Amino acid sequence: MIIVDVSVSDDILEVIKKHGADGLTQHLNSVDDTGSINFTAEQEQDEQMPFLDTLIVQKADGRVKLLVYRKKTHTDHYLHFSSHRPLQHKLSVVRTLLDRSSHIVTEEEDREQEEHHIHTALTRCGYPDWSINQVKSQMLTPKMKKTTHTYTYIHKSFIKMMTKRIKLKIRYTIIRKRIRQLSDEPKSTVVIPYMQDLSEAVSRVTTPRYSYSHETIPVDT
């Protein structure tokens, strides 16, 4: 297993026989006569291979599992919760780390360890438990909304009548939505410096009442 790093492109993961790594690298470097593209190869060590933020681990039975990869110089320093930033920016830090763990880590035991690592790191950065639990709850909600379908036989005339009513309802809803969009559509956007608590209040008061939207930019950390 090797990873080929192209200096002018994205990283590429290639699975080949071990003895073919050097030959493939030399072949790729010989394709471009100008020498402007240079390929380098990195082989697995201790049955592990880092690729971007993923650590590929070969288990004793030959199967592969994935973990989150962090460099040795990684400090687990993230945006501090006391920083002068909107709350959604801080919650997005939690969501990004948990989302990465959910999508990369393949085994449940490793995922629990990764979430414990995230919780510890964020606690050091001042994040209270409620902020982490809130994001976890938001991430779990869509997965828990499962609908149980019950199939019954309905007379064709009833289906035809209901289909007509649904079409009319959809058309009416689309027209109303478009009218509301036209009336509520902001005419311009105003950018103001972010001030904790005040900016949130300004957004709640001005957006529904006036025909403009506003964005905030941090001015102090």
Predicted TM-score of the model (pTM): 0.61
Which of 67, 41, 72, 42 lies closest to 56, judged by CA?
67
Out of 6-15, 20-29, 107-116, 175-184, pick the least confident: 6-15
Q: How is residue 46 annotated by DSSP?
A: T
Structural domain boundaries, residue 137: 87-144
Per-residue pLDDT tens for 150-202?
444 445 555 566 666 677 777 777 777 766 666 655 556 777 777 777 777 77
C-alpha angle with apex 212: 207 to 213, nearest 5 degrees? Answer: 60
Q: Is residue 175 part of a domain?
A: no
Question: Is 145's pLDDT higher than 70?
Answer: no
- Residue 56 sits in the same domain as residue 93: no
Q: Is residue 210 part of a domain?
A: no
Q: How is residue 216 annotated by DSSP?
A: E
Q: Is residue 181 part of a domain?
A: no
Out of 66-80, 125-139, 150-164, pick the least confident: 150-164
Task: Look at the chain and report how many structural domains it folds into.
Answer: 2
- Residue 63 sits in the same domain as residue 93: no
